Structure 1
């Protein structure tokens, strides 16, 4: 089935749908990972986006329930060079096409993904519409231009949980105040995790290190969190513009200095706003499993997984209060920071990512040590 990909600047690509009829509108972005497409698809940070994979063959190992990073698919559409309809992997339980169809997501193949990525890298991430229903290029470009975009929008409210839950037996269990959060440690630490669009592997990594993890909605106020008396507070990743998220910054300002805080991705950006800083939109973002990051505190370079379109402006933060700890070696942008007065640190990338680099798992250990030191 013919599918048109129309960018707001008038650029058109023609492909074929491998999931039947459909249409989607969002911001067109690309991911350079060679594997892990199921993790990409179930990452809430991709809400409002159309994802293009740069690796040319996608779908060869299928999909399985164990690699879900959330309960559903979040990109509005999934674009690939060539889809493999016959998966071969002992863990596979269904094909990628069936998985996308089950979640109502349009999949498109058979176009020059290299040309699209090169265009985005030159012009920047843009509004885009993909459709099998409307095949009029002029109409599609007009509709893409009219879309609101991500800047200034609160995308977190689309993905955060509506009720608190605990993490136990590798799954979410409804409950509050650590009533259903369980780990096997003898002396567990209690961690409250703000769900801005979190990935399950963040909860797995914390639980594996002896934490009872209680997940709360993004709108949870500071008083509620402090009443739970956690040993630490975790701020998850999430989609969109951090400056468009409502209410969270004031909550974090109240929590600073009260408990150790560890933030990832959007959580990192929200912390910077609580510190009094600002963020800006990157030209085409960092998305993939091979981004080089340097830890300025040790001099070591780690290969990281990333997925973000916004970045912390370190110039907006006081050097007397906030220290830059990590930089991206491709563009020297901020990848990590720590507060000099409060027990709080954060990174822009994803140390929990799997499959992919494990170079950054030490950050979870750092959080554990911080909580034990404060205790």
Structure 2
């Protein structure tokens, strides 16, 4: 069956359908990771997006539920150059096409993903549609132009946990504000023998303090941080009362809580090969990233916080550190999955901050 990918700039790609049938709208983005398509598909941070994989062959190791980052896929659509129909992996329980069909995700293969990626890099991420419907070119482009943009959207409410839950551990208690948290964040905190309490994104500051936490984790999540200003307001009330560690969207929300501004990147950072420099040590880490927004360094109050890490590709802010309170954040994913594990030490840094608070 034929499938089509149309962009708001009028570009239309024709390929072959796989997965579910129908029509899906979203922001079209690309990810440069060579592996990790299961984690990418199930990462809540991709809610609202049609994801293009730049690596040409996808699906070769099939699907297994141990590597999911949430209960199921959150992407709106999936774009690959070539789909592997016969995976080879002893852990695999199904193939990628069956998985997408089961979860009603529309996929397209057989298009020139290199050409698509170059267009997104030069023109920026765009609204688009992916469909198996027999539509004219004009109809495809018209629908692509109507695709909702991420700016100002509250996508967090679609992926946050509905109810709080606890993962038992050690004597220190960490509350995770779930803006679309990857499972591996909770796994890492549990490895450090912490009791983890995951709460919905709308949970108020007073409710969080009533849980008697020793630390606060601000998780990753999808979309524009300005679409969830309610979370930034609650974070602001909690600063200084307990150690805080933010990741990805949590990093951006910490920035907003500190009075800084955020902005949309041209095409974002999505992949497992982004170089980040620690400004204190000069050491460079290769990191896993997935975000389309960033903190404006010029709006960060130097009396309150400072930039701790920068991206060596475009010099955007990759980390901030508060000066007078125990709080820090990074734009990338130290929990990896997929991606390099260079930055796992940040979880231990957070643990030490909890153990030594108040100083």
Q: Above 0.5 in TM-score?
A: yes
Range class of TM-score, shorter chain: over 0.9
Aligned partners of 1:342, 1:20: CA distance in 2, in Å? 49
Give the SS at the match of 1:201. helix
Aligned counterpart in structure 1 of residue 249 of structure 2, from 260, 266, 273:
266
Aligned partners of 1:274, 1:126: CA distance in 2, in Å? 29
The Cα shift of 1:189 comes to: 1.5
Give the SS at the match of 1:25. strand
Q: Does 1:368 align with 2:359?
A: no
Task: Give the equivalent residue in structure 1 for 2:51.
Answer: 51
More displaced, 340-349 or 142-151?
Answer: 142-151
Q: Does 1:164 align with 2:164?
A: yes
Aligned counterpart in structure 1 of residue 168 of structure 2, from 182, 200, 206:
182
Task: Give the equivalent residue in structure 2 for 1:18.
Answer: 18
Aligned partners of 1:336, 1:56: CA distance in 2, in Å? 32
Aligned partners of 1:160, 1:134: CA distance in 2, in Å? 35
Task: Give the equivalent residue in structure 2 for 1:103.
Answer: 103
The Cα shift of 1:250 comes to: 1.2
Aligned length: 358
The Cα shift of 1:64 comes to: 0.4
Aligned counterpart in structure 2 of residue 212 of structure 1, from 181, 189, 195:
195
CA contact (8 A) 2:288 2:338 kept: no
Aligned counterpart in structure 2 of residue 242 of structure 1, from 220, 225, 239:
225
CA contact (8 A) 2:20 2:105 kept: no
Q: Per-residue displacement from partner, 1:212-261 (whole Å, max 9, x unpaired)?
A: 10000000000011111111000000000000114111101110000100
Task: Give the equivalent residue in structure 1 for 2:123.
Answer: 123
CA contact (8 A) 1:165 1:214 kept: yes
Task: Give the equivalent residue in structure 2 for 1:2.
Answer: 2
Aligned partners of 2:285, 2:332: CA distance in 1, in Å? 11
Aligned partners of 2:22, 2:147: CA distance in 1, in Å? 17
Q: Does 1:313 align with 2:313?
A: no
Alpha carbon RMSD of aligned pairs, Å? 0.9
Q: Per-residue displacement from partner, 1:296-337 (whole Å, max 9, x unpaired)?
A: 111110100000000000111111211100000000000000
Task: Give the equivalent residue in structure 1 for 2:146.
Answer: 146
Aligned partners of 2:188, 2:66: CA distance in 1, in Å? 15
| Residues 182-201 of structure 1: pairs in structure 2 closer than 5 A | 182-183=168-169, 185=170, 188-201=171-184
CA contact (8 A) 1:38 1:67 kept: yes
Aligned counterpart in structure 1 of residue 260 of structure 2, from 277, 288, 299:
277
Unaligned segments of structure 1, at least 5 residues: 167-180
Give the SS at the match of 2:142. helix
Aligned partners of 2:67, 2:5: CA distance in 1, in Å? 29
Aligned partners of 1:242, 1:156: CA distance in 2, in Å? 9
The Cα shift of 1:22 comes to: 2.1
Runs of 4 or more consecutive aligned structure 1 residues displaced over 6 Å after TM superposition = none
CA contact (8 A) 2:59 2:95 kept: yes
Q: Per-residue displacement from partner, 1:138-184 (whole Å, max 9, x unpaired)?
A: 11111121233110111111111110012xxxxxxxxxxxxxx212x
Normalised by the length of structure 1, the TM-score is 0.94
Task: Give the equivalent residue in structure 1 for 2:76.
Answer: 76
Give the SS at the match of 1:357. coil
Give the SS at the match of 2:339. coil
The Cα shift of 1:201 comes to: 0.2
Give the SS at the match of 1:73. coil
Aligned partners of 1:355, 1:26: CA distance in 2, in Å? 23
Give the SS at the match of 1:247. helix
Q: Per-residue displacement from partner, 1:10-35 (whole Å, max 9, x unpaired)?
A: 01111111225221110000000000
Normalised by the length of structure 2, the TM-score is 0.98
Unaligned segments of structure 2, at least 5 residues: none
Give the SS at the match of 1:282. strand
Aligned partners of 1:95, 1:332: CA distance in 2, in Å? 39
